[in-house]
Every structure is written in C-alpha cells, then in structure tokens.
Structure 1
Amino acid sequence: MLPTTEFALLRRLATEQASGRAPSLVAGVVRDGDLIWSGARGEVDSGAPDNLTLYRIGSITKSLVATVVMRLRDEGKLDLNDPLDKHVPGTNFGSVTVAQLLSHSGGLTSESPGSWWERTPGGTWDELNESLRPDEVKHRPGRRFHYSNVGYGVLGELVARLRGGSWLDAVRSEILQPLGMSHTTDRPRGRHAKGYAVHPFADVLLPEPEHDAGAMAPAGQLWSCVDDLARWTAFVGGDTGEVLHPDTVAEMREAAVIDDSGPWNSGYGLGLQLVQVNGKRLAGHTGSMPGFLACTMIDPATGTGAVAFANTTSGIGILSLTADLISMADDYEPALPAEWRPSAIDPALLELTGLWHWGPSPYHLRVLPNGWLDLSPASGTGRASRFRPLGDDRWLGLDGYYSGETLTVARDSDGRPHHLDLATFIFTRTPYDASAPIPGGVDERGWQPTPEE
C-alpha cells in the first residue's frame, strides 16, 4: 500500500498496543484474497513477532468446525434441520437442530458444567455429555441468541461421528491443507507467543496456562498466525477454493439470529459472527482464551478484511482495531470499480426489460450479466431482488424480499411477454391491466377522476 497508508495503519496498531498494554500485537490487512499489509508491536521471546508467529485464536476455531458441518450438509450427509438425536443420540437435548447449534440459538448453557473449561484440561465426550443434564438447556430452542461454547463441543462430536475420526482430523484434511494454512495447529509449535495477564494497576505480567480442552476443544482450541488467518479471512469473503461453494459461505454469512443483548448491530450466522461497524457489514469471528485475543473480519462488499492477534487476556479492543484497519484501508485507498463493458446476452431477454407495474407501483426490469434479471422499484425504496434463470420462462429470486421465490413470465397468444407472476403478485405493463389475472379482479369502470360516492 502507499507509504502514507501503511504508516497510518501502523500508528493505529501501535496506539492500541501502547494504550492497551499488550506484550505483543500483530495485525494484517487482506484485499481480494491477498495479504497487502502487516505490522507488529511488542516482543515475543525477546524479538518482534512476525507473520508466522503463532497465537491462540480461541473461538475462531468454531468457524472452521462449522465449515466442516456445512461440507457434510452439501454432501447430503445431514440436513441443517436434523435434530441432534439423528446423528448423536443419547443427549438430554436431542431435539435441538444442527442449524440451532451452529447459530447459538439452541438454548444450551454457555459453558460446560464444572470448572471453567478455558483454564481446565478437558475430558471426554462421554464425561461432557453426562454433565449436560436437562437443566443445562437454558432457553427454548430457537427462542433467542445465547452464545454456547458447549454447542460447539457437541458439533465437534457430530463431525467426529459422521467423519469416523476426530473433529481436528477433519479440519486439518478438509480445510487447513486445501487452503494452505500449514502453520495452524491445535497446540503451540515452533515460534509462538506466550499468553499473559497484565496487572490492572502495574506494568507486570502473569503467565496464563495452556492445555488441551478435550471435548470442549472445538469451541476454541486452535493456534494460528497472520499468514494463515489472512487466507481464512479471504475464504470467509468468498475466495473459497475447493473447500466450499461460495454460495454456501454466503449462506453462512446470513444473519440467522440477532444478538438482542444490546443495540441491534450484531448477529450470528452459521458459524460466523456478523457486525455492523463504521458503516460496514462485516463477517468473521473474534476469539479469546486466557492470555490471548484474536479477530478476523472481512467486508464482502469491498473484499477488504483484517486480522489481529494479541497475547494478553484483556485490555485490547480487538474487534474495534480490526474494523478500523478495514475502514482505513478502504478510506485511504478505495478499490476502483470494475470497468463497465458491454456483455453478450440473449436478445430474447430484451423484450422482458423496461417498465412493469405491481398494482399502481412502477418497477424496472433490467438484464444483468450471465442472463440474470434485476427487478426494482422505479423510484424510492421497495422490494427489489435479482433472479437467475431456471428455464421455461421461470426465474429464481436470489436476494431481498423475493429470495427463493419464483418469477414466471406469462405470454400472450403471439408469444410476447404479457405479465409476470411473482409469488402470486401480478406485474403488468400498465397499472392494473384488466387483461391480466389480477387477484380480486379490476373494476370494470376502470380508473375514475373522483372517488366513488
């Protein structure tokens, strides 16, 4: 990036490290799949950390576990509406669905019963399951967002049973290796940061312990570095390689639940946190374990993302730092829009374009590249959607109010487009065309100059 931009990013990082008193803080900016800037402050093992220095990433682990679950869904091995009992029988919460576990809406307790799992070596799945008695379901499944580390311990067991190995083996073979994330691991190896707590009233450190979380490991076990997490950030933005179809990752980024504990600026998809900050809608995940903070976020609209790691239990605004780095990169060096170029389309589509009316409301229908259609209000705001062809004059809604709905072109006896039928709404070339099958009919007297008396 430009030297002025790089200095501004480094200054934001340096200010956070100094004010938050972190032993070390590293970060990187990702754009269009590439790591375009990275910086570091502080020390690990008497030296500055670099892009391969490992830090614990905590709950970012959940996103990788969720990706394996989505692969299983795409392979037909499970349905997101399946009750847990179908794949992991013998629990006290078997009616909770896979989708509810992914989105933290299953109502399960937030933490595993017993000692705090983040500071206690973990046990087996059988031990965890035995501890989850009926009263550990805290809310009616589907009622609300309730972040549950336990839920991802359960999903790790689901992955293990359907894959016939450990959740970690599945993550390694299905995500880390294909994406080239060769340094990400379950325990610290090679050059890594040690976790510390910083005294709140003095500049002294207390080492934090590190351990294998056992059955709770899918909730936050992994370690990673700037280079590897930059690749993961690009994945969340849609650069998915052969791991998942981009449409599946886009589905993971959709808000399944809203975090109702504060202002409605955050939510959760299928394994991904969603936040609105600095006027952007970001997707990714934060992570924290004793001695560590981490964050990965990306703005799919611009393709700009960022990662950040610190080896401190608290004190660093890891999400706000990451969001600021994204905004600064886009503000200082905005990406140029792609050049407009004419595209080849089926000439038959041109007769569908132009002005249509839903009742008295005017809409414009446009042809997009790849033969898609865009239907949107002629002015102001309203129900707008894009559609892709299904064949036989049928089109599938991709977003907005009509997502998943079918648009059908009805033709007259000469084969010309006469009206559109969209989820029972009839669109006509003129307002309330009496020759179209308008539900409820059209008054035979037509349009009147004065209200009926």
Structure 2
Amino acid sequence: MTLVRPDTAAALLREVAAVQSASRLPSLVAGVVRDGELVWSGTRGRFANRAGALPSADTQYRIGSITKTLTAILVMQCRDDGLLTLSDPIGKHLPGIGYGHLSIRNLLAHSGGMNAEPVGDWWERNPGVSFEELASALDESIAAGVPDRRFHYSNIGFGLLGELVARLRGSSWTELAQRRILDPLEMRRTSYSPVLPAAEGFSVHPWTHRLDDEPAYDSGSMAPAGQLWSTLEDLARYASFWIDPAAEVLSPATVDEMAAPMANDPNEGLTASYGLGLRLHADDPYVFTGHTGSMPGFLAGLFVDRVRGIGAVTLANGTNGRAPMLALDLIRATAAHEPPLAPEWTPEPELPVGEELLGAWHWGNTPYLMTIDGGILVLSNPDGTRVTRFRVIGKDLYEGLDGYFAGERLHAHPDHLNLATFILTRTPYAQ
C-alpha cells in the first residue's frame, strides 16, 4: 500500500530494513498514518511463524504495553462520566489495597513511586494470577520512591487501574475495552488472545541466530498492562484516533489532557516525559505521543504527531530490538519528505467580536497585537514569546485558551483591556 511519493516510500522502507536487519527480527510490519488513513505500509523478514509465513498488515502481533493506553482511556471515560476524580486515592475505590494512598493520577502517570513489577515470578513469562492474588502480594516496603517525585514505570499500577474500571462499571476489563473502545473504532482484529493469522513470538540466540520460542500466557489480573494482540491495520485506526479523537470514545479536550506532560525521568531531561497513560517524546518544536510495547517474543510501537497529523505503527516478533522506537523515525522521515501544506487561508465569515478590540495595544511601552483567526481572538507581542488565544465567555469577557494567559480572564473596556491585572491601552503609558 502506498499513498506517498515513491521517494518517501523508499525512505520509509530503508528505515524498516535497517532496523529489521540490525535488530535481527524474524518479521517486522510497519505503517504510516496521515489524514486518518494508512498511507504506507511495508514488511521485512520472512518468519512471522516458524514455517516461514510472510507477515502482512492483517497479521496479529502482541502489542504489550500499548494495551495500557486502552486502560487509560477507560479510566478517563470514568472520570468524564463522574465516576471518579483523578485526585482520588486508588484505595477509595479498591478498599484495603496496598499503595491505596496513591492517586489515580499517580498510577496513570507512573509518578507514585510504586515498584515496577509484582512480587513473585516474572509475570510476563508465567501464567497470570487473580486480582486477589496480585493484591495480596503488594508490598509497600519495596516502593521505588515517594509520590510525585519522578517518573518510575510501574506495570502493577495498570493492573490496579484495570480492576478499578471493572468495579466502577460492573463489567470485566476485557468487555469494557471491547465495547467502549474497540467496537466504536472498528478495531475488529484486536483481541485478548491471538486469532489467526497471528505471528509466533521468538527470541534470537545471541551467538547462533537460532529462533527460540517465547511463551504467550494469559496475563490474568495484569492483562490491562500488556495482554492485547492487534494488527497494523487496526493500530492505524487507533493512531488516527489519537490525532482526531472520536467523541464517542473520548473528547478532544480529554485527549489533550492525557497528552500533557505529568512526570519525567531526570535522566531524560526535557526530551521525554509521561502523560496520563501516554508516552511523550520531544522533537522540537513538535511532540510525539503514543506508547511502546514489549512482551516475550514481541515488540510494538505507536506514536503520532498530533500537530502535523502523522502517525506510525511498528510490530515485530522478536524480544529485543529498536522496533518500538522505529515509529518515531518513520514520522520524521514522512514529515521530512512530505511536510504538510500550510493551512489554506480563508476570510473570516463573521467577526464574533467588535472590530474595536482588534489592532495595536500596549502594556506600558510594550506593543501587543490583537488579531482574529478562525473566530478566536489572538493576542501576541512582537517577538512571539507571548501568544494567547481567547474565547468569548460573556459580554466583553474572554478566557485564555493557551500560552502565558491560559485560563486567565480578559475584560474589555471602551478605552483599555484588563488582562489578569495587566492593563493594555491603545497608546504607550496611557494608564
């Protein structure tokens, strides 16, 4: 499939081929999403299974922790429906649970200091346990840190969040994911367990290049952290959702909230952070939003650039390699070869405000300019370091949408503007 230029397609395939070869992946499937559709897909490797099956856009792979993003959606749906607040301690809804003092926001953002893995056998390589068994093994004495100090990834937290939504809705996590996310987004080839055609999970011996089988157990109570299987075509639909949210799943405002930085690892500085169930990577001036995934024998990546409307998905059946982060490289390559066109200018059909608000204003002797774009007032200073958009909320009253004055009120008067005690006048030092 290709709806990109030949030079773009060639560049994308080079990226895929390089990762498949260097990471020794038995098979690798990748795709690019733009404007709500899969515009390019490619495969590399001939061992989707031991018999040598070629992979395709309809081959299922285990997506690992990309599953967490669906769990996060279910939590935010509960919040939007008034069933919880993000500041609620998890123990309010799961009484008697270990780490019950941590907030739901802490768990979504991995900012609670909870240890990464359940006590006991490595859950990814063993049959899953019941929630009661998981809960009974929680041990706060081995916490990795204190709440709200730093990002520390915790698979356990998403096991608890899965149980949270199940209790609040009176239905299993699996049923909720199907009914409230997969069905509305028409992700018909995403499932709890593999459905043929599906790839087999392998690890590659470090010295002999031999394929070794990897286990694929039911994760039980840890399923909300990494159980699901999906295809390139289904995940392309899912990537499109994060660019242009379907209101029946989540509102655009809630997606914006999830994609805002909440916690980070000091070692990553400002290059990467974590939102509410979403991984964020800086690519100045843009931000890539999504998640990586890994389970024994499988790797996955799904990221989108929400501003430029480009996304990428990668799926592989190997235990180690760069396949998850390849999604970022595919977005960069697409944007470099085919940058989005500038938005088409159209005249304002009708001014929502009087023209008396538009034009030059001054704060002291600092000039500002009030313009209008798409029915929204825009206030900016000459060097562009302070730009805020405003929406109408009442007569002569406006609210900042972003920038320095986000959430602040602007009161319009005949001879001046009062913006959070900043007085702007038509001439310098008029007040």
Residue range with higher mean Cα deviation, 418-427 or 115-124: 418-427
1:429 is displaced (CA, Å) by: 2.0
Are 1:5 and 2:2 counterparts? no
* CA distance in 1 between partners of 2:351 and 2:322 (Å): 55
Is residue 28–residue 230 contact of structure 1 (8 Å, CA) maintained in 2?
Answer: yes
Find the counterpart in structure 1 of residue 154 from structure 2. Answer: 148
Q: Give percent identity, aligned residues only.
A: 49
Q: 2:126 aligns with which of 120, 126, 134?
A: 120
Over residues 365-407 of structure 1, what are the superposed CA-to-partner deviations in whole Å (9 max), with x where a residue is unaligned? 11121x3111111x22433211111122221211122222222
Give the SS at the match of 2:75: helix
TM-score by length of 1: 0.90
Task: Please tell me the residue identity of whatever aligns with 1:344.
Answer: P
Q: 1:403 aligns with which of 388, 400, 406?
A: 406
Over residues 217-257 of structure 1, what are the superposed CA-to-partner deviations in whole Å (9 max), with x where a residue is unaligned? 11111111100100111111123252111111111111111
* CA distance in 1 between partners of 2:429 and 2:142 (Å): 56
* CA distance in 2 between partners of 1:3 and 1:268 (Å): 35
Over residues 339-382 of structure 1, what are the superposed CA-to-partner deviations in whole Å (9 max), with x where a residue is unaligned? 2110212374321011122233211111121x3111111x2243
Q: Structure 2 matches for 1:269-280, cutoff 5 A?
A: 269-277=275-283, 280=286
Q: 1:360 aligns with which of 331, 340, 365?
A: 365
1:203 is displaced (CA, Å) by: 1.6
* CA distance in 1 between partners of 2:88 and 2:417 (Å): 36
Are 1:345 and 2:342 counterparts? no
* CA distance in 2 between partners of 1:175 and 1:394 (Å): 38
Is residue 33–residue 239 contact of structure 1 (8 Å, CA) maintained in 2?
Answer: no
Over residues 120-158 of structure 1, what are the superposed CA-to-partner deviations in whole Å (9 max), with x where a residue is unaligned? 211111111111123143322112111111111110011
Are 1:299 and 2:302 counterparts? no
Task: Please tell me the residue identity of whatever aligns with 1:374.
Answer: V
Is residue 179–residue 241 contact of structure 1 (8 Å, CA) maintained in 2?
Answer: no
Find the counterpart in structure 1 of residue 418 from structure 2. Answer: 421
Q: Structure 2 matches for 1:45-444, cutoff 5 A?
A: 45=49, 46-277=52-283, 280-319=286-325, 321-346=326-351, 348-369=353-374, 371-377=375-381, 379-409=382-412, 411=413, 416=414, 418-434=415-431
Q: 2:36 aligns with which of 33, 37, 47?
A: 33
Aligned residues: 425
Is residue 245–residue 255 contact of structure 2 (8 Å, CA) maintained in 1?
Answer: no
Task: Please tell me the residue identity of whatever aligns with 1:188.
Answer: P
* CA distance in 1 between partners of 2:369 and 2:238 (Å): 39
Find the counterpart in structure 2 of residue 450 from structure 1. Answer: none
* CA distance in 2 between partners of 1:89 and 1:403 (Å): 37
Task: Please tell me the residue identity of whatever aligns with 1:269.
Answer: G
Over residues 33-78 of structure 1, what are the superposed CA-to-partner deviations in whole Å (9 max), with x where a residue is unaligned? 1000101111223221111100111110010110111111111111
Find the counterpart in structure 2 of residue 21 from structure 1. Answer: 24
Is residue 266–residue 274 contact of structure 1 (8 Å, CA) maintained in 2?
Answer: yes
Task: Please tell me the residue identity of whatever aligns with 1:372.
Answer: I
* CA distance in 2 between partners of 1:247 and 1:350 (Å): 29
Please tell me the root mean square deviation across aligned C-alpha atoms, in Å.
1.6
* CA distance in 1 between partners of 2:125 and 2:293 (Å): 15
1:330 is displaced (CA, Å) by: 1.6
TM-score by length of 2: 0.95
* CA distance in 2 between partners of 1:349 and 1:87 (Å): 50
Q: Which runs of 5+ in 2 are unaligned?
A: none
Task: Please tell me the residue identity of whatever aligns with 2:259.
Answer: R
Over residues 77-117 of structure 1, what are the superposed CA-to-partner deviations in whole Å (9 max), with x where a residue is unaligned? 11111121221111232221111111111111111111111
* CA distance in 1 between partners of 2:88 and 2:191 (Å): 30
* CA distance in 2 between partners of 1:279 and 1:368 (Å): 21
Select the structure of larger CA radius of gyration: 1
Task: Please tell me the residue identity of whatever aligns with 2:418.
Answer: D
Give the SS at the match of 1:261: helix
